[in-house]
Structure 1
Amino acid sequence: MSQSTPRDFDDMLSNEPSASADLASAARADEGSRIDRWWATRSTLTRRWLGWVGPAIVVLVAAFTRLVGLAHPSSLVFDETFYVKDSWTLVNRGYEAQWPAEADALFNSGKVDIFLNDPSFVVHPPLGKWLIGLGMLPGGGEDPFGWRIATAIAGILAVIVLMLIAKKLFGSTLLATLAGLLMAIDGNAIVMSRVALLDNFVMIFALLGVGAMLLDREHSATRLALWISRRGLRGGATDWGPSLWWRPWLMLAAVAFGAAAAVKWNGLYFLAAFAIYSLVVDALARRRAGISFWGSGTLFKQAPVSFLLTVPVALLVYLASWTSWFISDNSYDRSWAETDGNAWTGLFSGVPLDIQSLWHFQSSVYSYHVGESRPHPYQANPLTWLLLIRPTSMFYENSVRGESGCLADACGASISGIANPLIWWAATAAVLYLLYRLVRYRQGQTGFILMGVAAGYLPWLLYLNRTVFQFYTIVFEPYLILALVAALGVIVGRSDDDRYRRTSGLGVVAVFVVVVIAVSVFFWPLWTGQTLDYDLLRLRWWLPTWV
């Protein structure tokens, strides 16, 4: 096939034709690269085992970049001052308790049991802090490795889940491995897996939910086909179609999205976005199946069922994350509704007092979030996120010759959430390319990927005056990487492309990957807090806004 010949984008991304197709292609000297022809001659068992090698190596790389030196620095960095201490009191008290003055210095010195009895006002739900706290239990609160192990595990799992999603989405082990590799070596993903913040948990739960939605798309299409075969419907039949109740993957997605919201509220945007996505997919499936009233059938028959399968499930998961708040008498605002004059009256007077108290607490948290506009030296307007203008510095320490391994007159050690610039900027360009493809060709994979980007990014454009940070982007970074891999998949082509097209495509992508790896190696000290000669440190500040 010539390079200029149009081809369906979804088909282009499926780089693994059947064994018979491989052999047929290999028999033609003008198709595919030498690698394709070599691959086609391997046995099925050999290809199966070799197909695991790449993903396994990627998982090892992800583990290395997230676990090696995880206990450094041995002091609280950035917002760890909130989440580590809150997590420690949560697993010890059952609620987030207050700390005395100068608590950070005392905590860093190993005095970790000096928390008070009074509850603390916190602005995020407890699930993420429970996960951090559980990681701290084996080694105690004085172990920096324990502070961060939960977020590191979440980062490793995200690489695995991303590869599974990419494999399902693209049907290509090559592209799936590439997606995992880019996530494994990107600076934003590495840094957010090495500090005890909450956003990595939102990312992994949302990613699990998105993966479940992908599986639900296939499952619901199968159920719809079964219903049609039983009813004997054919194209043009006048019917609204069924109400599909048995959708376990949709319910599991609701569990995952509810868990994401139980870490930070922005997880709710994924529930909302993919609820819309689910309805669109349902409607298109009904239209393809020949159901006449496919739109109204989706809206009036399936939408209410899908709502009942998702929203109550997500709400129950969210409420379950507050179990310790309910059973701890000293939790913040726990008895608010029991105070004279606070309980609701009128129509809502019958709501349990516990729920009234929790609602009041949540209302206070919402007021905090929408009003948070205090300036911060590393705040980053969401309009600049995709351009990587103002990454967040999590840690910085100056040193002179002889201190902290410094071999120069002046040195610095930094943990900065600078994404690998080549990955980030290329992914941003890929998103624009996929938008073009979606508008022009209305492709399924493209819409799925862009919905992930939209769910994690677009809601923040409503809060341009709020104090926010670049590292929030970790929540939608997996979908940026999927967008980039989709674009790289077009460059790679298929094994039945003509030899020059296929060979040149593989070569271009191989060069890109090698350069990306080299850039990650170059930035590695800036992501892990290694002491560098100050002049060498400055070489890694490619933009003046990165300082």
Structure 2
Amino acid sequence: MLIFALSLWLRLWQLNHLNTLIFDEIYFADHGFSYLKQLDLFDVHPPLGKYFLALGIWLHAHLLGGAEAFRAASEVGDLDAIAYRWFNAVTGSLIPLLVGAIAYQWTHRDRTTLLAAGFTALDGLLLVESRLSLINVYLLFFGFLGLWCFGQAIAQNMAFKWLMAAGLFWGASASVKWNGLGFILGFYMLYSFAWILEEVRHWRPSKVNKQDTKQVEQDANNLLSDQNKNLSNPENQAQKTRKTFDFLTQINLLKIGFGLGVIPFIFYRLQWIPHLQLHPNFTFLEMQRQILGYHESIGSTVDDHPYCSPWHSWLWMRRPVAYYFDRVELNGQTVIFDIHAMGNPILWWLSTLAICALIGKWLSSLGDWWNQDPINSSQWCFHTLLISQYVANFLPWAAVSRCTYIYHYMAASLFALMTLAWWVDIGLRKRHWLWQLLSWGAIALIIAGFIFWLPIYLGLPLSPEAFHRRMWFRSWY
């Protein structure tokens, strides 16, 4: 609750002190306003995210005293910025809780949970995106909510209702932006890997095959006995998680196809209905072709946009995006107002090291599985989930030819933060002074980094000297 309270306060505090449209607010906030006023618009993304922006403006007008200003406004810029930003701020403050909930589902460790939620709350890019009328927070919210539902499905013997709920929310994530499909792709990677393990297990040395056969028989007996146990018991849920790969290979293909194929598509199709009713000259398929054509027409160089950055540069945050910059003279002194869409550098660099180390550890464990013991632990399943979701939300950008930006890395970055939380918890559990020093040092540096760069997340006034001290590299300007 303290993490949530801090997240909410940071997102709502002086939310309108820069009371003007910033960066893509000129599109997204305007689209939400246009839906309410029934004005013509052309959007380059599916409409769900803008529906929520419209909902925020509507609630502000009808419940928070903004009715008169809304009636008089002819464009979204006529409104107070709080009207089109507050709903994003509340939604963004819930994402650290979702990340923590998922970490607890798979580890059942309080400290890992708190670290994962805390690190997410200390990410600067998520804070910036939450304080502006942008739509990436909805992609993340629905994506991680779907992942939590998937965890519930595993904990409850692959309950079909939770599998459908996961498909519904992942369909909602893709209905904000198409790259929300990364969460579904992550599931199918996990599912495919479970089947690969099932097939390859018979090719291993005979010594291991005998061990594995005994393990499979034992797991089958455990699964049968678990049917009559109380699934709400956390210990039983942990037991279910340890058998993730056994469960995945036992899911009926029709259930997977319906829950994680048909359900997301039905949701995606239905959410277009309000938009198409306002624009009856376009069909559903015509809108998809127009969106695809727009993205294919965007160039891929800094000549097309000064803040373009290749996908591999996001790992070390080479090129953040300046959402807002203004230099003014106040009382004879120069003051800079800047909002930089950049992560907490310490957090991002450490999380990049953490995910790389986890991938190395995971590959090593595959070698052990081939030569010695079968793998059937909740920890290894958690690692596989993190890696599959990270890869699915990150590597597809390597094939994108259009101009890309650092905020496209947001979904993958949160899985890297969860990985870092797991490593730090491991270090805190060790008694050796070096591990303790590294773990507490990492936490302290992450907090210090967040405080140091906080003024350029919130757009607070800075002297030129203070601003330049925060721009450590020329590529950050």
TM-score, length of structure 1 as denominator length: 0.70
Q: 1-side partners of 2:106 and 2:250: how far apart?
A: 29
SS of 1:266's equivalent? helix
Matched ranges for 1:126-275 at <5 A:
126-137=47-58, 138=60, 139=66, 140=70, 141=76, 142-220=79-157, 246-275=159-188
- Cα–Cα, structure 1 residues 314 and 514, in superposed 2: closer, same or farther, change >3 Å? same
Residue in structure 1 matching 2:28, options 83, 99, 122 = 83
Q: Is the 8 A contact 2:34 2:41 kept in 1?
A: no
For 1:376, give the aligned amino acid: H
SS of 1:415's equivalent? strand
For 1:516, give the aligned amino acid: I
Q: Deviations over 1:203-222 (max 9, x none)?
A: 1111111222222223236x
Q: Is the 8 A contact 2:325 2:337 kept in 1?
A: yes
Q: CA deviation at 1:454?
A: 1.4
Are 1:392 and 2:321 matched, yes or no?
A: yes
Q: 1-side partners of 2:471 and 2:347: how far apart?
A: 16
Partner of 1:366: 292
Q: 1-side partners of 2:3 and 2:342: how far apart?
A: 21
Matched ranges for 1:359-438 at <5 A:
359-373=285-299, 375-402=304-331, 409-438=333-362
For 1:479, give the aligned amino acid: F
Partner of 1:327: 277
Q: CA deviation at 1:487?
A: 1.6
- Cα–Cα, structure 1 residues 301 and 546, in superposed 2: closer, same or farther, change >3 Å? closer
SS of 2:119's equivalent? helix
Residue in structure 2 matching 1:522, options 449, 452, 475 = 452
- Cα–Cα, structure 1 residues 314 and 275, in superposed 2: closer, same or farther, change >3 Å? same
Q: 2-side partners of 1:366 and 1:75: how far apart?
A: 30
Q: CA deviation at 1:284?
A: 6.1
SS of 1:446's equivalent? helix
Residue in structure 2 matching 1:534, options 439, 459, 464 = 464
Q: Is the 8 A contact 1:283 1:298 kept in 2?
A: no
More displaced 10-residue stretch of structure 1: 385-394 or 481-490: 481-490
Are 1:312 and 2:262 matched, yes or no?
A: yes
Q: 1-side partners of 2:440 and 2:11: how far apart?
A: 24
How many pairs were matched up?
A: 405
For 2:281, give the aligned amino acid: S
SS of 1:77's equivalent? coil
SS of 2:178's equivalent? coil
More displaced 10-residue stretch of structure 1: 386-395 or 440-449: 440-449
Partner of 1:491: 427
SS of 2:172's equivalent? helix
- Cα–Cα, structure 1 residues 281 and 64, in superposed 2: closer, same or farther, change >3 Å? farther
For 1:130, give the aligned amino acid: Y
SS of 1:367's equivalent? helix
Q: 1-side partners of 2:53 and 2:4: how far apart?
A: 22
SS of 2:470's equivalent? coil
Partner of 2:15: 70
Q: Is the 8 A contact 1:213 1:249 kept in 2?
A: yes
Q: CA deviation at 1:392?
A: 0.7
Q: Is the 8 A contact 1:217 1:281 kept in 2?
A: no
Q: 2-side partners of 1:296 and 1:490: how far apart?
A: 27
* Structure 2, unpaired ranges of 5+: 61-65, 71-75, 200-212, 221-244, 367-379
Partner of 2:475: 545
For the aligned residue pairs, the C-alpha RMSD in angstroms reads 2.4
For 1:457, give the aligned amino acid: F
For 1:423, give the aligned amino acid: L
Q: Is the 8 A contact 2:189 2:388 kept in 1?
A: no
SS of 2:328's equivalent? strand
Q: Is the 8 A contact 1:219 1:247 kept in 2?
A: no
Partner of 1:457: 394
- Cα–Cα, structure 1 residues 133 and 285, in superposed 2: closer, same or farther, change >3 Å? farther
Residue in structure 2 matching 1:121, options 42, 53, 63 = 42
* Structure 1, unpaired ranges of 5+: 1-55, 98-118, 222-245, 337-356, 403-407
Q: CA deviation at 1:359?
A: 0.6
SS of 1:84's equivalent? helix
Q: 1-side partners of 2:138 and 2:247: how far apart?
A: 36
Q: Is the 8 A contact 1:200 1:475 kept in 2?
A: no
Q: 2-side partners of 1:219 and 1:123: how far apart?
A: 39
SS of 2:335's equivalent? strand
Q: 1-side partners of 2:392 and 2:87: how far apart?
A: 24
For 1:418, give the aligned amino acid: M
Q: 2-side partners of 1:436 and 1:376: how far apart?
A: 36
For 2:31, give the aligned amino acid: D
SS of 1:396's equivalent? strand
- Cα–Cα, structure 1 residues 323 and 175, in superposed 2: closer, same or farther, change >3 Å? same
Q: CA deviation at 1:283?
A: 7.5
TM-score, length of structure 2 as denominator length: 0.80
Q: 2-side partners of 1:134 and 1:181: how far apart?
A: 29
Q: CA deviation at 1:299?
A: 7.5
Q: Is the 8 A contact 2:338 2:460 kept in 1?
A: yes
Q: Identical aligned pairs, as a percentage?
A: 22
More displaced 10-residue stretch of structure 1: 275-284 or 124-133: 275-284
For 1:324, give the aligned amino acid: P
For 2:32, give the aligned amino acid: S
SS of 1:412's equivalent? strand
Q: CA deviation at 1:394?
A: 0.6
Q: Is the 8 A contact 1:390 1:470 kept in 2?
A: yes
Q: Deviations over 1:353-399 (max 9, x none)?
A: xxxx2112211211111221161111111120111001011101001
